[in-house]
Amino acid sequence: MASETESSADEEAVAVPAAGAGGTDKRGRHRILAELKRLDQDSKFLQVKIAV
């Protein structure tokens, strides 16, 4: 579960962009975080599959 703690810390460390490009940056950030979550889930699934 250490990776979950590290992921949470990394998500909070993302810099907030300048106010001018707010909407586009938030969507981009959301896409990146969603992709990271998907990759994390995939890696956990594969680790369990390998262990069995």
Is residue 2's pLDDT more than 70? no
Residue 33 burial by Cβ neighbours in a 10 Å radius (0-12, 13-18, 19+): middle
Tokens at 30, concatenated: 């959301």
- Contact of 7 with 36, CB cutoff 8 Å: yes
pLDDT value, residue 25: 84
pTM score: 0.50
Q: Which residues of 11-31 are buried (b: 16+ CB within 10 A; e: fewer)?
A: eeeeeeeeeeeeeebeeeeee
- The per-residue pLDDT for range 3-51, each reduced to its tens digit, is 554 555 454 455 555 555 667 788 999 999 999 999 999 999 999 999 8
Return the domain boundaries, the chain.
23-52
